[in-house]
Structure 1
Amino acid sequence: MMKLLIGNRNYSTWSLRPWLVLAHFDIPFEDEVLQLAGEGWRETLAARSPTGKVPVLIDGDLVIPETIAIIEYLVDLYPDKAIWPADLRQRAMARAASAEMHSAFQSLRSHAPMNLRAAHPGKVNIDTVGKDLHRLETLLGGLLTQSGGPFLFGEFTAADAMFAPVATRIRTYALPVSDLLNAYVEAIYSLPAFQQWLALALREPWVVDDDEIDVMQGRVKPGTLA
């Protein structure tokens, strides 16, 4: 059985993405959490991952780092599952959107880290993420308008897995977005696979200070969050 090495579910956006694809499309796998903080965590990652990062998919003697590479491997391995849209043009658009998510939205990543356990309305300076929010409205809003929702291409695909962490940021920090994008956030949260991940994340005891906005913004000292 394939194994997916992941980081802390509460914080690890890149781990969430392939995990959702595997879980939603009923692909047999098991996962293992590798800590993203604590004594020796970097050494542990370096010993288990070719890049020193997560996620990593292990299939026999094949070791695949990087989220998009993992997703494309699953597409090739399970061609009968609609991981990408069936239509050629829509598939190209889904891959383009996913690639943009992979390389862009740096302000949103930096100023509004994923934190599934938290609710931090008003703690993100909208001026710092405004450009990214505008691009999300254009990109996701356009795709949702074309498809009619509830997901970017009607049914859930890998493109939605790529943008699922964005949906969590919108909710955690109560970011100002359109009704269309708020409905998309609700669709992501209603997905059974996402609910599985969320339930596990909420039970995690670990804190990663680097991803806690109160620590990042100096309201709380590192090492003091329970």
Structure 2
Amino acid sequence: MKLLIGNRNYSSWSLRPWLVLRHFDLPFEDEVLMLSGEGWTEALAARSPTGKVPVLIDGDLVIPETLAIMEYLADKYPEKHIWPADRRDRALARSAASEMHAGFNALRSNAPMNLRASHPGKVDPDLVRQDLHRIEQLWGEFLSRSGGPFLFGEFSAADAMFAPVATRLRTYALPISDMANSYVEAIYSLPAFQDWLKLALHEPWVIDRDEIDVIQGRVAPGTIV
């Protein structure tokens, strides 16, 4: 299997299935497709049916959507328990993953994933307060039921879906509870996440549209090194 991904520092959607593949020790290779630079949209469209990443390629099968990739992997490797083994937990995990997939737009737009950066105080908490409240609700409910360290005890696809949220909370030092901070620590301590992070920190590319200082007008596009 091959997973086509975007720049690791910024591509939150690529991170999600990559974590599943790496954590559950599934056989795969990855390939980074640029999300900026001359001709990047055309190059991406030539490899991805949707012109977006991630894309999973397994033989002649091409799957270009994060949740679909996770479901395919769960079907192909049922013994791995990519979703929680308990039927009720599995339903709740899928529900939370779908909510993450479709929502939290304020957090996404105002606090883009940027693993190399540290920008405390640069995102107004009022702009993302509703999303933060819902995150506290979801994480608190699941962690109190499971006892942690992950949402349903052991790491699952639900945690992969929320991993980029954990990075945003840390990058922008957003106000969260001790419970949420502990969950962020659990994500960062995951060996698979550490593998991704090490690679991301060594990437040379800068994407201006995902840099908060460019977004908020502090620096001109093309000036961040």
**TM norm structure 2:** 1.00
Give the SS at the match of 2:57.
strand
1:124-171 per-residue CA deviation (whole Å, 9 max, x = no partner) reads 011100000000001111111111110000000000000000000000
Deviation at 1:210, TM superposition (A): 0.5
Instruction: Give the CA RMSD over aligned residues.
Output: 0.4
Identity %: 77
Structure 1 match to 2:158: 159
Letter of the structure 2 residue corresponding to residue 164 of structure 1: A
Structure 1 match to 2:115: 116
For structure 2, the residue ranges without an aligned partner over 5 or more in a row are: none
Letter of the structure 2 residue corresponding to residue 131 of structure 1: Q
Deviation at 1:173, TM superposition (A): 0.3
Would you say 1:215 and 2:214 are equivalent positions?
Answer: yes
1:19-43 per-residue CA deviation (whole Å, 9 max, x = no partner) reads 0000000001000000110000000
Structure 1 match to 2:47: 48
Structure 2 match to 1:206: 205
Letter of the structure 2 residue corresponding to residue 82 of structure 1: H
Give the SS at the match of 2:56.
strand
Structure 1 match to 2:63: 64
Would you say 1:4 and 2:8 are equivalent positions?
Answer: no
Letter of the structure 2 residue corresponding to residue 70 of structure 1: I
Structure 1 match to 2:138: 139
Deviation at 1:120, TM superposition (A): 0.2
Give the SS at the match of 1:153.
coil
Equivalences for residues 124-135 of structure 1 within 5 A: 124-135=123-134
Structure 2 match to 1:150: 149
Letter of the structure 2 residue corresponding to residue 38 of structure 1: G
Would you say 1:83 and 2:94 are equivalent positions?
Answer: no
Letter of the structure 1 residue corresponding to residue 111 of structure 2: A
Q: How far apart, CA to CA, are the structure 2 residues paired with 1:79 and 1:173?
A: 37
Q: How far apart, CA to CA, are the structure 1 residues paired with 2:105 and 2:207?
A: 19
Structure 2 match to 1:30: 29
Structure 2 match to 1:175: 174
Letter of the structure 1 residue corresponding to residue 29 of structure 2: E
Letter of the structure 2 residue corresponding to residue 8 of structure 1: N
For structure 1, the residue ranges without an aligned partner over 5 or more in a row are: none
Q: How far apart, CA to CA, are the structure 2 residues paired with 1:141 and 1:9?
A: 28
Give the SS at the match of 2:53.
coil
Structure 2 match to 1:224: 223
Q: How far apart, CA to CA, are the structure 1 residues paired with 2:140 and 2:194?
A: 23
Letter of the structure 1 residue corresponding to residue 203 of structure 2: E
Deviation at 1:207, TM superposition (A): 0.2
Q: How far apart, CA to CA, are the structure 2 residues paired with 1:177 and 1:69?
A: 31
Q: How far apart, CA to CA, are the structure 1 residues paired with 2:146 and 2:210?
A: 34
**TM norm structure 1:** 0.99
Would you say 1:18 and 2:17 are equivalent positions?
Answer: yes
